[in-house]
Amino acid sequence: MKQNSLSKTAKVIFIVVGVLFAVFFSVRTYNSYRFHLEKQTRVMMDTYVTVYAVGPEKLTSKAVNAALQRMEEVDEKFDFLNPKSPLYAFNNEGAPISDSEIVDLVKLALGVSRDSDGAFDITICPLISLWGFYGDHPSVPDHESIERCIEKIGYKHLVVRNSKVEKTRPDIRIDLGGIAKGYAVGEAIKVLRAEGVTSALIDAGGDVYAMGKKGLRSWKVGIKDPRGDGLLGFIEAEDLSIMGSGDYERFFMDQGKRYHHIFNPKTGYPASGLTGTTILYGDPALADAWNTALFVLGPEKGLEIVESIPGMEVIMVTESGEVLYSSGLKDRLQAISTIE
């Protein structure tokens, strides 16, 4: 049995950013003034997080540091394995969650759960645990164990009332990992703007937000083929989330079959039909959650939902290698030859 490591998957992400900075990292002149590109990287949320900001050196250095600190705060609070987190008390002691920030994000997550008919479900952590994806040695459980585990899952067992999150079953547990990283990216963007930064890019292990312009032009973000070494193309982005996900991030092989960490809550098995999805949307938290939901829903239902959400676009790669686009994206994906 072979499992990929996080360090390896962090290097092979759906959203390819590094190649786009080869020229931009050098000092250039726009509108007759020279700029500084600040870059800081930290490890959090089980991945590498890099923040780039353009502007005066003192301003950008302070702003990027503050943005990363804010992301670390979010990571600590939303880590359900952290004994100091309200999520830990909720999962292990049944204590209602009254922290307003967590309550608000749970409400946002439940909205995606309802709109996706449960394809996105923050109560799925017992299933992830059963398959061993919280540890270093995942494996395929027996079918009976999966069936019993499904009974412990269900977003409808979560209730928000009197500004608190409660559960109607004692064995319900929450893992906000499918939305918290996008939320953290959004919080970092708020900090950068408050500090006076107008041009920045955040890459949180494939969850990208392009803020403002790269000098005089929009940021260009490469979209990688999840099954190949090449790129599908490039997207110009300005004040936009580009969130990538797929079966290549965390997976193991067993008897020649790939088992990944994105589960269908209704079947208890890894979702099938797609190898990767990339969402473009203004709200990074919602983009993060919907990325998981669309991967579970598959191409037909997923595209139908995207077409109904104003401002959202998606690229999907099927298991057969077919690349699908939402209607508003077909003319925005640029060929590699157009990159400058």
Task: Quote the pLDDT of residue 35.
Answer: 74
Distance (Å, whole) CA 272 – CA 115: 20
Place of tokens 């997976």: 251
Tell me the whole-structure pTM to 2 decimals: 0.90
Distance (Å, whole) CA 185 – CA 15: 15
Percent of the chain with pLDDT over 90: 76
Task: Quote the pLDDT of residue 34.
Answer: 52
- pLDDT of residue 231 exceeding 60: yes
331: pLDDT confidence band, cut at 50, 70 and 90? confident
Instruction: Give the pLDDT confidence of 53-99 residue by residue, as tens digits.
Output: 999 999 999 999 999 999 999 999 999 999 999 999 999 999 999 99
Instruction: Give the pLDDT confidence of 196-210 residue by residue, as tens digits.
Output: 999 999 999 888 999
Instruction: Give the pLDDT confidence of 176-190 residue by residue, as tens digits.
Output: 999 999 999 999 999
Higher local confidence (pLDDT), 260 or 2: 260
Q: What is the mean pLDDT of residues 243-249?
A: 87
Place of tokens 């959400």: 309
144: pLDDT confidence band, cut at 50, 70 and 90? very high
- pLDDT of residue 19 exceeding 90: no
215: pLDDT confidence band, cut at 50, 70 and 90? confident
Domain 1-41+59-186+196-235+261-340 fold? T-fold (3.10.520)
Tokens of 120: 């996105």
3 state DSSP class of 82: coil
Tokens of 160: 């928000």
Of the candidates 217, 215, 211, 213, the residue with the CA atom closest to the CA atom of residue 195: 211
Neighbouring CB atoms inside 10 A of 19's CB total 12
Tokens of 283: 């709200």
109: pLDDT confidence band, cut at 50, 70 and 90? very high
Neighbouring CB atoms inside 10 A of 130's CB total 21
- pLDDT of residue 147 exceeding 90: yes
Q: Report the DSSP beta bridge partners of residue 316.
A: 277, 324
Exposed, middle or buried by CB within 10 Å (0-12, 13-18, 19+), for 225?
A: middle
Q: Where are the domains of the chain?
A: 1-41+59-186+196-235+261-340
Residues written for the chain: 340
